[in-house]
Amino acid sequence: MNFLQNTASHAKALYILGDLFEYWAGDDDIADTFHQQIIQGFQALASSGVPIFIMHGNRDFLIADGFCKVAQVTLLEDPTLITLCGKKVLLSHGDDLCTDDVAYQQFRHQVRNKIWQTDFLSQPLSTRKQQIEAIRARSEQEKSQKQMEIMDVNNDAVQALLARYTPDIFIHGHTHRPHHHATTFNGKPISRWVLGDWYEQGSFLMLNAEGCVSSALE
């Protein structure tokens, strides 16, 4: 809430590239007390004239129109190419670039399937939350046994995405490894910015006419 009130309120727009929530069990969980705090913060920011755009992450890919309408936010496709400050900016959550993690990509393909989602959302909310908690616990255990390199983005996958969109700036998250990577594609310089998590860092990226600036909450 501090970020929305004191930082995002000075922006022309706010872009959230996934994993807004620890998990999202469905839009019928909007009444949750914590979710209501976030929704009210978004409503206030949007009402002040700052448009808010969000993208699905690997934790909250079930966010749908119900949440977006109430929270006054716009859901973006992943990836999305936009123009900001005269620059072509490519936005993505980034998890589909971690192609070396075969097990995760198989899981991602399963849960992004519309048939799977319809079946999952047909279950009681309490049942869904229990299943998600079990999946998260298993995922944390599996991650502790994986090499860090496997869970990072694959360079070939990044290059393929850059070839498709040829942006000036590419911004993504997911890996929790905040860094600025200076790369090139066909001789064109491209800045790839990786966002940090919000568990301890509270980091965010500001883009203005001078370029990108990585910052953290005080």
pLDDT in tens, 118-137: 999 999 999 999 999 999 89
CA distance 13 to 107: 32
Pairing mode, strands 52-55 and 74-76? parallel
DSSP-H helix ranges across the chain = 2-6, 33-47, 65-71, 102-111, 114-121, 125-143, 155-165
Task: Identify any residues that bridge with 194 across adjacent strands, giving them in sequence order.
Answer: 172, 179
pLDDT of residue 34: 95
Pairing mode, strands 80-84 and 87-92? antiparallel
pLDDT of residue 188: 86
| CATH number, domain 78-94+152-218 | 3.60.21.10
Return the residue matching tokens 């079930």: 62
Over the stretch 109-121, which tens digit does the pLDDT of each residue have?
999 999 999 999 9
pLDDT of residue 218: 57
Mean pLDDT of 47-54: 98
Backbone angles phi, psi at 56, to 5 degrees: -65, 140
Mean pLDDT of 209-213: 87
Q: Is the pLDDT of residue 24 over 90?
A: yes
Q: Is the pLDDT of residue 33 over 90?
A: yes
By CB neighbour count within 10 A (0-12 exposed, 13-18 middle, 19+ buried), where does 182 fall? exposed
Q: State the average pLDDT for the chain.
A: 93
Per-domain boundaries in the chain: 78-94+152-218
Q: Is the pLDDT of residue 215 over 60?
A: yes
Q: Is the pLDDT of residue 93 over 80?
A: yes
Mean pLDDT of 158-183: 93
More confident residue, 209 or 83: 83
pTM, rounded to two decimals: 0.93
Return the residue matching tokens 């949750």: 32
> Among 120, 29, 124, which Cα is nearest to 71's?
29
CA 208 to chain centroid? 21
Instruction: Name residues whose C-beta falls within 8 Å of residue 165's C-beta, 6 or more positions apart in sequence.
Output: 79, 81, 88, 90
Per-residue confidence band for 72, with pLDDT thresholds at 50, 70 and 90: very high
Percentage of residues in the chain having pLDDT higher than 70 = 99
Longest CA pairwise span in the chain (Å): 53
Per-residue confidence band for 183, with pLDDT thresholds at 50, 70 and 90: confident
